Amino acid sequence: MEQDQSIHRKMIWTIGGGKGGSGKSFITANMGVCLSKLGVRVVLIDADLGGANLHTFLGISPPALSLSDFIKKRVSHLREVLIPTAVPNLQLLTGAQDLLNAVDAKSVQKRKLVRSIQSLDSDTILVDLGGGNSLSVLDFFLMSDGGILVVTPEPTSIENTYRFLKSAFYRRLKQSVCCSSVKALIDDALDRKNEMGIQNPHDLIRAVRQIDEEDAQRIVEEVKTFRPNLVLNQVRSKKDIEIGFSIRSACLKYFGIHLHYLGYVVYDQEVSRSIRRKRPLVLENSGSRAAQCVMEIASKLANSHSMANRD
């Protein structure tokens, strides 16, 4: 019974989208530290396939234990592969490859792993997904309680984020419909040069209506509940901050989805200085402007967590 409650209360946030270098790991690590300082028990999961190095952001040497020790049954409990950090309430779990393989597999093992993660003794889990775009990354993003996209105000970063969002969006729609011809249609829609002339989600819904009204309704419902979050990183001017609002409006017009602009982090030399020292910025220089920004975003996550618990 007790365990059920702890499963109920847990929030899993995934941090992904965009491309490498937009600051996902930096934000994940520092948000984790902030939350744990607020008294939230946090587990950070490093699922960045391209370059798993959350440990370095926390000043830990490459961990000897990983998720694969649990999967290969070298340890019996998932909590045994958790790595403690210098911060109380904050633990780290590594093993990107294994994690994503498991998500990919439609098996008992996958469900078992997800259940093990959910039963970990913590309040919040932050998963750093890296810049990947693979189906398993998308699935993890969609499975979480809240997906956070980290973007910098540059065209390349925004472009990649939209690509990620589009893939996640269509994947979510595909998972929500029943009719196999509708599923096939959604696959086709991802390719802008498709024969049906489907250019955007609006065209898609029109096409789906002609095949199956119920599925069309399912899609409409799905769009309403898909609410990813946005963090704009390395902001240098007021105009940059406004780009976040523009992204929000563009997503509403194009996808019909409500993207939540969670906040921004200003560009700050202190960030790279802290990374070189292998110390989280919010500990190393909590007065710096970037640290202040991360703290504000973390407190919002903590708030939404306590709101969810109140329900």
Residues contributing to the site for other proteins (CB under 8 A): 153-155, 158-159, 162-163, 199, 201-202, 205-206, 219-220, 223-224, 235-239, 241-243, 245-254, 256, 258, 260-264, 266, 289, 293, 296-297, 300
Residue 127 has phi, psi (to 5 degrees) of: -110, 120
Rounded distance between C-alpha atoms, residue 172 and residue 42, angstroms: 27
Nearer to other proteins, 33 or 158 (CB): 158
144 close to 104: Cβ distance less than 8 angstroms: no
Count of alpha carbons within 13 angstroms of residue 243, beta-carbon side: 20
259 close to 231: Cβ distance less than 8 angstroms: no
DSSP tally for the chain: helices H, then strands E: 15, 8
Tokens coding 117: 């993660």
In angstroms, give the least distance from the CB of 289 to other proteins: 7
In angstroms, give the least distance from the CB of 92 to other proteins: 27
In angstroms, give the least distance from the CB of 31 to other proteins: 14
Nearer to other proteins, 81 or 158 (CB): 158
12 close to 128: Cβ distance less than 8 angstroms: no
Nearer to other proteins, 148 or 297 (CB): 297
Rg of the chain (C-alpha set): 20
In angstroms, give the least distance from the CB of 165 to other proteins: 9
Rounded distance between C-alpha atoms, residue 273 and residue 258, angstroms: 36
In angstroms, give the least distance from the CB of 288 to other proteins: 11
- Sheet with 260-266, strands from edge to edge, namely 83-84, 90-94, 42-46, 124-128, 11-16, 146-151, 229-235, 260-266
Nearer to other proteins, 143 or 252 (CB): 252
Nearer to other proteins, 145 or 296 (CB): 296
Rounded distance between C-alpha atoms, residue 81 and residue 215, angstroms: 42
Would you tell me the crossing angle of helices 155-176 and 238-254 to the nearest 10 degrees? 30
Which of 281, 27, 259 lies closest to 164 in space, CA to CA? Answer: 259
In angstroms, give the least distance from the CB of 279 to other proteins: 22
Nearer to other proteins, 124 or 160 (CB): 160
Nearer to other proteins, 9 or 206 (CB): 206
Which of 267, 250, 248, 270 lies closest to 259 in space, CA to CA? Answer: 248
Nearer to other proteins, 213 or 242 (CB): 242
